[in-house]
Structure 1
Amino acid sequence: MKTVISLVIFLNALVSFAQENYSLSSQKERLRQYSGQWVSTINPSTDSVAKHPQIKMSSLNNFNNHSLTVKVLQKDSVNQYHPILQEIIGYDRGTNTIFAAGHNAEGAFFTGKGSFPSENNWTMQDKDLNGNNTMKVDFNFQNYTDVILEGLDTNEKSLWKTRYIKNNPKDKNIGIQLVSVHKEMLKNPEQTLIQLGRMGYSYVETFVYKNGGFYDQSPTQFKAMVEKAGMQFLGSMTFFDPEDKNDDVAIHTWWNKTIQDHKKAGVEYLSTSNSKLKGIKTIKELQEYSNYYNKVGKLCKENGLKFVFHNHADEFLKVEGVTIYDYLLQNTNPEYVYFQSDVYWMQVAGVNPVDYFKTYPKRFISWHVKDYKELGESGKIDFKDIFNYQEIAGVQYILSEVEDYSFPPLFSVGLAWEYIYYELLK
């Protein structure tokens, strides 16, 4: 079975959804908005893209994100693409400016210097190698996946205007947990999904199943909205924890409706977590939970879905000398219950996820890969080593979380996609 790799940006169930007002304060941070794969729109007044766009642009990060290598290709009459411009654009710490050097297909070289006067606007003044001003280029970022460029001559007359839409590749099947952009989804789910699809995300996992739907949309409506954004709706976190784990009527009633709603939406798996584990005092209670999860997993399997248990840190507490997580792994049926290892919470709990992958091979079809803020920034979690154990773990969906932010959430999830795509999935 083909491995589906899922990046999930996910805040844990108990966190408040109130978010601070983050910003991109430095020139270096603002320049990173321009990283990625881009294509030109049909015309600058629309964000619609033709089947064969006129221009394709690749803008890749170098040297600890201080510079971008940019290559621009143009389509000919038979839809073949040829290079027309290549340059390096970087942030110069000494002058706190953006500097560029490049050449076109005719061999004309140029340099450029400029800055971001605001988060959304960027101006570069190009010069030839004799030091003469040639063209000024204004960049206007509509959002993190949409930018309008305009070239102006020395008299400020417009020479050309192009609009680029981010079009990062989806070949590594990276997904996102929408709780990472919860505020944005509540405000404008359609436009938020469109940006996520452009960033390179292949599918989404939700956290807001309520009243039989998602973000005030029916299952079929939300599925259509996700697919319109170029993604799939593959996973959903759901929560139901009956007081009586032997109340089969209540269990079947809630889960059967939940399963049918999610089947209409086309999901592949349902996941759950449990905030009450720290209150468990006996092995008997642990066994009741194991029995309950087996029942739910069996219902899911009978309906063509997978059921996945997601951990936080409480799972590594002990009950009567037994680690809760180990007990659940040992006492749930592998045919019915899979596990979604959250590597961040494992690190918080003081355990190494690799040890679990080795001890319980093929049980972890899903991972949550999360750092203390943006992915890969803390240096506390050895993600590259963890990613060596995908096959042993049995992973099909790799999910990454951003629990806290240094930047605006939509910018941060773009950085997370880049880290997974370029650094972890070789």
Structure 2
Amino acid sequence: MKVTKLLVLICLFSHPLLSQHSVESQIDRLHQYVGHWVSSIHSDTDSVAAFPHIKMNNISKMDKLSMQVEVLQYQKGEYNPLLTELIAYDSNSNQIIALGQNKDAIVFKGTGRFSNEKEWEMQDVDMLGNFYLHVKFDFQSFSNVLLEGFDESGKSLWKTRYIKSNPKDKKIGIQLVSVHQDMLKDPVGTLQELGRMGYSYIETFVYNDGTFYGMSPAEFRKVVEAEEMQFLGSMTFHDLPTSDSWESSMKWWSKCIDDHLAAGVEYLTTSNNQLKSVKTKAELQRYCDYYNTIGKLCKEKGITFAFHNHADEFGVIDGSLIYDYLLENTDPEYVHFQADIYWMDIGGVKAVDYFQKYPKRFISWHIKDYKELGASGKINWMELFHHPDFDVPKYMVTEVEDYSYPPLYSVQLAWEYLYYQILD
């Protein structure tokens, strides 16, 4: 696909990606500290040992107003409690307050605040009012925080670097268009952030002349797998060919499939931004024939092909809903579907109805909301994930279309929403 065409698609489908956001409130800044963390080998590196010296589990409470902190230390082959804390935002003082206890039964109280998005300081005293510790937090990314403790004179006592290490057991994927600008700027660093956040696999949006974000299929696969993720899915685009360009189009798809197989991809999806120009079922049938041909080629090579919807598919042509026509006139053996829940809602249809009527056609779905996942209250995610009459599609892919925060912060919220509130 030409770069210009890719940019057009990004503008059409993901315009809010270009907007910039920051983390402004003390509550939201504190929430960066939520998650599973492990200490690095040394404070000067982000490398982590097989058995990190410290593990820390920070669980969000009270709708992000507070968090429960448990710190464990590796000793003699097991992890033992080192520290427990409740850290909360106090609206009266606009400060962050902590109440903690160490393994020596000393209880301490801390007060402090973020001076900016990345820097946080806390002053701790014991319950007799004596100085206990002064701690500085430096969030060097959303998954990398450096802590330094000081005595009363300001002398540094210790430094510990924590690296986020959220679990991957619930197999949550992410569409990389959610962090598109970050991927273009620093694909390796961005994939590292996503892996630490707990994402299990990725779905790409950028395939261009045999490369993914400027890397060969093998190189890109290696980078993804280094973060303990899989490269399972990819959105690809190639316009409907004219009759005299059909053969060259199939050659393009053949190479595209081979490149994705080399990268370890299990399924390809495509979408259609030309449906507004389609006026008859005969024109629509040409797309069905095209998708059947691509799907057959994919199956022959050992990969799955699926069609991804936006909102135009829920328009009507000659009395038929376009999406229904595509479902009924593509071969189930070759063409599967990826449901974009947000665009279905925009299109005025219910994903539940399609999952019930076509239970075997949907292999993947984009779990996307009007803002960060679950924030709008417009989509009943619990019903979709736990409906008694159908199994959810195999590949669940989070996507953020619009943001209240920086994209990497927003996709962390999406992972947390699914992991802690929706999935069993």
Same fold (TM over 0.5): yes
Cα distance in 2 between the residues matched to 1:39 and 1:380? 36
List aligned pairs for 1:79-158, cutoff 5 A: 79-158=77-156
Cα distance in 1 between the residues matched to 2:131 and 2:374? 41
Deviations 1:194-224 (A, max 9, x none): 1111001111111110011111111111111
Code of the aligned partner of 1:108: I
The verdict on how the C-alpha distance between 1:298 and 1:393 changes in structure 2, with shifts beyond 3 A counting, is: farther
In structure 1, the residue matched to 2:18 is 19
In structure 2, the residue matched to 1:56 is 55
3-state DSSP class of the match of 2:182? helix
3-state DSSP class of the match of 2:386? helix
The verdict on how the C-alpha distance between 1:88 and 1:115 changes in structure 2, with shifts beyond 3 A counting, is: same
The verdict on how the C-alpha distance between 1:60 and 1:219 changes in structure 2, with shifts beyond 3 A counting, is: same
Deviations 1:208-255 (A, max 9, x none): 100111111111111111111221111110001233268541332111
- Structure 1 unaligned segments of length 5 or more: list them: 1-9
CA contact (8 A) 1:362 1:392 kept: no
3-state DSSP class of the match of 1:365? strand
CA contact (8 A) 2:172 2:398 kept: no
Cα distance in 1 between the residues matched to 2:359 and 2:71? 45
**Aligned with 1:266 (options 240, 254, 264):** 264
Cα distance in 2 between the residues matched to 1:92 and 1:353? 41
Cα distance in 2 between the residues matched to 1:266 and 1:129? 57
User: How far did 1:360 drift?
Assistant: 1.1
In structure 1, the residue matched to 2:353 is 355
**Aligned with 2:180 (options 179, 182, 185):** 182
**Aligned with 1:221 (options 219, 222, 238):** 219
CA contact (8 A) 1:69 1:89 kept: yes
1:74 aligns with 2:43: no
User: How far did 1:424 drift?
Assistant: 1.3
User: How far did 1:153 drift?
Assistant: 1.2
Cα distance in 2 between the residues matched to 1:354 and 1:17? 27
In structure 2, the residue matched to 1:198 is 196
In structure 1, the residue matched to 2:378 is 380
Question: Percent same amino acid among aligned pairs?
Answer: 55
Deviations 1:117-156 (A, max 9, x none): 0111000111111222211111011100000111111111
Cα distance in 1 between the residues matched to 2:28 and 2:243? 50
Code of the aligned partner of 2:365: W
User: How far did 1:13 drift?
Assistant: 5.4
Cα distance in 2 between the residues matched to 1:394 and 1:379? 20
User: How far did 1:278 drift?
Assistant: 1.7
User: How far did 1:342 drift?
Assistant: 0.6
The verdict on how the C-alpha distance between 1:198 and 1:12 changes in structure 2, with shifts beyond 3 A counting, is: farther
User: How far did 1:40 drift?
Assistant: 0.2
Cα distance in 2 between the residues matched to 1:418 and 1:241? 37
The verdict on how the C-alpha distance between 1:132 and 1:306 changes in structure 2, with shifts beyond 3 A counting, is: same
**TM-score normalized by structure 1?**
0.95
Q: CA RMSD in A?
A: 1.6
In structure 2, the residue matched to 1:5 is none
1:210 aligns with 2:199: no
Cα distance in 1 between the residues matched to 2:13 and 2:347? 17
* Higher mean displacement: 46-55 or 124-133: 124-133
Code of the aligned partner of 1:87: E
3-state DSSP class of the match of 1:411? helix
3-state DSSP class of the match of 2:14? coil
CA contact (8 A) 2:144 2:162 kept: yes
Code of the aligned partner of 1:224: K
Cα distance in 1 between the residues matched to 2:165 and 2:385? 25
The verdict on how the C-alpha distance between 1:391 and 1:110 changes in structure 2, with shifts beyond 3 A counting, is: farther
In structure 2, the residue matched to 1:41 is 40
* Higher mean displacement: 17-26 or 177-186: 17-26
User: How far did 1:32 drift?
Assistant: 0.6
Cα distance in 2 between the residues matched to 1:351 and 1:311? 12
- Structure 2 unaligned segments of length 5 or more: list them: 1-8
Cα distance in 1 between the residues matched to 2:245 and 2:258? 20
Code of the aligned partner of 1:419: Y
CA contact (8 A) 2:385 2:392 kept: no
CA contact (8 A) 2:133 2:152 kept: yes
